[in-house]
A and B are shown apart, each in its own frame.
Chain A
């Protein structure tokens, strides 16, 4: 059974770096899937942040590209998100998500989500 679980601080100070990790079980991150991050501000809709593939390819939303880095740790079957220079508008629930396949970019398995608040 595929499971994803986010971890990281729930509170980040403005201008600091947000760092989250997603632990994956039930499937290898070396599979032919994209491993994505999606966020949802409180009471608002869903926003794709970007995704990464075990082969090393990464794609980020143009609106966040300058502040985002994603990486994989295949030995631990985990992947990570770093977002620097955060502000209050980055307050959101952050989900780590798996796509159906490299070609089928729908999101079939989601983590439970982690609320990250940006506040001093």
Chain B
């Protein structure tokens, strides 16, 4: 199984801050990395696929980058509505695996 390691596991930031979440794969996964946002009590929502492609309807303050082993999700200017957990997922090989999640709180 390809292990996906996210860091940090949680963070607290202020509205307007630039926030970066990292995801490291246990092996080279090319650009087969996807990001999801999950608000409390809600369904996960696809933000970014194939490392850097913004899903339709997702605000442009979200962006993704990386290839191979190291990947990044960036929120360019944090908004109160971004308070959520964020998960990365590799789609390179079976079994499909997720990172442990990063919980983003607003100061």
Contacts and interface: CB of A to CB of B under 8 A. Distances in A.
Given A45-B100, A45-B101, A106 B87 contact: no
B55 interface: yes
Contacts of A54: none
B46 A107 contact: yes
Nearest to A47: B98
Contact of B34 (A61, A63, A106, A113): A106
Contact of B43 (A48, A62, A95, A105): A95
Contacts, number: 51
Contact of B91 (A47, A106, A111, A113): A106
Interface residues of A, number: 19
B49 A48 contact: no
B91 A105 contact: yes
A105 B96 contact: yes
A110 B98 contact: no
Contact of B46 (A48, A59, A108, A113): A108
B81 interface: no
Contacts of B98: 45-48
Please report whether the interface of chain B is mostly helix, strand, loop or mixed according to DSSP: loop
Interface string A94-118: 0100001000111110111100000
A109 to B, nearest CB: 8
23 contacts: A45-B87, A45-B100, A45-B101, A46-B36, A46-B89, A46-B98, A46-B101, A48-B96, A59-B95, A95-B43, A95-B44, A100-B49, A104-B49, A104-B50, A105-B32, A106-B34, A106-B46, A106-B49, A106-B91, A107-B89, A108-B46, A108-B49, A112-B43
